[in-house]
Chains A and B, each alone.
Chain A
Amino acid sequence: MAFSLLWLTGALSVLIMLFVVGYIMIQGLPGINVEFFTTSPRGGLSGDGGIFSTIVTTFYMVVVTLAVATPLGVGAAIYLTEYSENAESIIVRKLVSAARFGVETLAGVPSIIFGLFGYALFVSALNLGFSIASASLAGACLIIPVIIRTTEEALKSVPVSYREGSLSLGATRWETVWKVVLPSAFPGISTGILLSAGRIVSETAIFFVTLGGSYRVPHSLLSGGRTMALHVYYLAMETRAFDKAMSTAAVLVALIVLMNLSINIITSRISARSR
């Protein structure tokens, strides 16, 4: 009896996933054709047109956000795993624990707060306006903790003997990190980057208050735009074009499924290699 309840909850989790994904796919797929991908939304209340410009904006957002967040996140993770334990001075130790506190806090900040912050700092104070620049700087805050955590995991899984070998051959710590540790941690780091790309593709709240929502193709970092996720929101809430919203959502879900699959493939390769 009790066991069948546990089986039921397990099954229910799978069924909920199948229901949500299945419903979106069944409702959304019929509206998807080549034209849907190659035309931009025409605006207006009927939700006419495809999603071309939103794909372009999503792509820009992912690239710019990752360009900002990856060096910072990977750099932070390298310091925290490779350098922090050798820190001699008390000040540096204090800074390290402050950095750890920062990462943990940032990971818990809800996205609308990043949006509010981005609106106050990037959109208004720095005068970047509702733009890809503002939105991706705010979006970077969201994914920096994700990249730091996954990179730390990846670095920790590189055997200590690799480092010892390199250091004993006379390499400096940075040379060891750059030429030995990072290459072997690369697959793990790449899953973190994929995960972050997924976050940006899915994110709506931050971009709702920083990206402006224009349905035109962006032509520079200072243009506004709307990502696919944001497009779903506008279609559902403002134009009530639920069929188009479903089709766009189906594209989004398919993209997320693809990303999850590649993350799982990379992860299973890593664990197969370390065995």
Chain B
Amino acid sequence: MTSGSRHYGARTGMENTMKTVLLISALASVLIVLLIFVFTMKEAMPAFREIGIREMLSGRVWRPGNDQFGILAMIAGSGLVTLGAVALGVPLALGTAIFLSEIAPRWISGIVRPSLELLAGIPSVVYGLFGMVVLVPLVRAIPAPGNVGFGLLSASIVLAVMVLPTIANVSEFAIRSVPKGFREGSMALGATKWETIARVIVPAARPGIISAVVLGLGRALGETIAMIMVIGNSVVIPAALNGNPLTIFLSRARTLTGNIAVEISYATGVHESALFATGVVLFILIMLVNTSARYLLQSSISRGGK
């Protein structure tokens, strides 16, 4: 650019063209994010204007035929199923991560790791089918009034398996990036291997592990098809079925994602717009979750690197 050469050679021309083309393709992602935001927002505006954001978020009744568009039940459904999945999945994932990074002999990690990869690759519709055919009948056998098997518990179990690979992989990465000196120092001071893992390594990897869990949370909130298949899809605020508060997990529910998928194909007017508004709520929720995960991961990496 500084050289004032007259013959702008074909090679330089090619170079500059390619540079621009590549920059444009690099910008495609931002463009898509912007388009998604603009289009979803634009379609959601009528709902926000006519129903009101607060009314939507706090409304307990979703009855499109009656012009009632409260999504509180779906927020509760998504929240509870995610909570259930994390409660079931995190101990398993964390245990697997520690196992892989600290104690598994090489040939055993050679079995466990591909298993996790395969679990991550199984289509969500297959998990949903498995849930419908295997888990729902099992859950149905739990005696409680109104328990049909389809509900938060079945959905939480399915979701726990689906987020297991994500949480295990990222946690393992976090544990592995704990500097070797920590381990050696602890062992040299006479700590046992278990004390080293529990008191030194896991605490040092904590930010990374938390970000793994948060990442799994984001995954769980976004899951759609498997949830529709096992959660029952009733628009009710989940409640305990009898005196035992844990039976809340036997209640049927609907997720934010399921609300969109189930109704979008026939919705029109304000109803359709309310579904886009559901999407906006979901999008913002997941953005918040993912951003905090990324922030935690970055801080854990920069700490571990020192």
Contacts and interface: CB of A to CB of B under 8 A. Distances in A.
From A109, A205, A230, residue with most partner B Cβ within 10 Å: A205
A242 interface: yes
B126 A24 contact: yes
B132 interface: yes
B225 A205 contact: yes
Give the interface size bracket for B toward A: 35 or more
Interface of B: 11-12, 14-15, 18-19, 21-33, 35-36, 39-40, 42-43, 91-92, 94-96, 98-100, 102-104, 108, 111-112, 114-119, 121-130, 132-134, 161, 164, 168, 194, 198, 218, 221-225, 228-229, 257, 260-261, 264-265, 275-276, 279, 282-283, 286-287, 290, 294
Contacts of A148: 29
Contact of A20 (B11, B114, B130): B130
Contact of A256 (B118, B133, B264, B294): B118
B92 A110 contact: no
Given A13-B168, A117-B39, A209-B265, A79 B22 contact: yes
Given A8-B95, A16-B161, A205-B225, A256 B121 contact: yes
A80 interface: yes
A256 B18 CA distance: 35
Interface residues of A, number: 87
B119 A17 contact: yes
A96 B116 CA distance: 34
Contacts of B264: 115-116, 119, 209
Interface in A234-273: 236-237, 242, 245-246, 249, 252-253, 256-257, 259-260, 264
Contact of A112 (B23, B96, B117, B261): B261
Nearest to B289: A108
Contacts of B133: 27, 242, 246
Interface string A125-152: 1000000000000000100110010000
Contacts of B36: 109, 113-114, 117, 141
A219 interface: no
Contacts of A119: 264
Of A18, A84, A105, chain B has the most CB atoms within 10 Å of the CB of: A105
Given A109-B286, A113-B283, A174-B15, A209 B261 contact: yes
A121 interface: yes
Contacts of A12: 92, 96
B22 A78 contact: yes
Contact of A204 (B29, B30, B125, B276): B125
A75 B32 contact: no
A20 B127 contact: yes
B30 A108 contact: no
8 contacts: A12-B92, A18-B115, A80-B26, A98-B27, A109-B286, A112-B257, A172-B11, A260-B121
A186 interface: no
Interface of A is mostly: helix
A211 B228 CA distance: 18
Contact of B25 (A27, A79, A232): A79
Contacts of B42: 120
A106 B121 CA distance: 19
A67 interface: no
Given A9-B95, A95-B23, A232-B126, 13 more contacts: A6-B99, A9-B96, A10-B104, A14-B111, A24-B129, A75-B26, A96-B26, A105-B33, A116-B276, A117-B35, A202-B122, A205-B261, A264-B114
A10 B100 CA distance: 8
- A-B CB proximity, top 3 nearest: A110-B222, A9-B95, A75-B25
B58 to A, nearest CB: 23
A227 B28 CA distance: 26
B28 A72 contact: yes
B40 A120 contact: yes
A103 B32 CA distance: 10
A205 B125 CA distance: 9
B118 A95 contact: no
A173 B23 contact: no
